[in-house]
Amino acid sequence: MKDYKVTVEFKHLQQNAPGGVYVVPATLRLWHGVIFLRRGMYASGIYRFRVELPEEYNEVDAWPRVFLEKNGDFHCYSPLVDADTGEVDLKKAYPRWDPTKHFVVTALTFLKKIFYLKESDLPKDANQAARDFKEDPPTFLRSVRECVERSQRHARDDDETRALRFQEHPLLKKLSRTLRDRGDTASPADFVIDFIARHNNDEECSDLSDDDDELSEESPPTTPNLRSARAV
Residues 31-56: pLDDT tens digits?
A: 999 999 989 999 999 999 999 999 99
Query: Please, which pLDDT band fits residue 217 given cuts at 50, 70 and 90?
Result: very low
> Distances from the Cα of 3 to the Cαs of 10, 61, 105, in angstroms?
11, 17, 17
What is this structure's pTM?
0.72
Q: In the structure, what pLDDT confidence band is assigned to residue 30 with cuts at 50, 70 and 90?
A: very high
Q: Which domains does the chain have, with CATH numbers?
A: 2-164+211-230 (3.10.110.10), 170-205 (no CATH)
Question: Residue 154 pLDDT more than 70?
Answer: yes
Rounded Cα distance, 117 and 79, in Å:
9
Distance CA 211, CA 110 (A): 18
| Inter-residue long-range contacts of 84-90, CB under 8 Å, 24+ positions, other chains counted | 88/49, 88/114, 89/123, 90/63, 90/64, 90/65, 90/66
Helix or strand or coil: residue 126? coil
In three-state secondary structure terms, 189 is helix
Poorest-pLDDT segment among 125-134, 145-154, 155-164, 187-196? 187-196
Judge whether 211 and 20 are in contact, CB under 8 Å: yes
Which pLDDT score, from 0 to 100, does residue 14 have?
87
Give the span between the Cα atoms of 75 and 86, in whole angstroms: 7
pLDDT tens per residue, range 69-97: 887 667 899 999 998 899 999 998 899 99
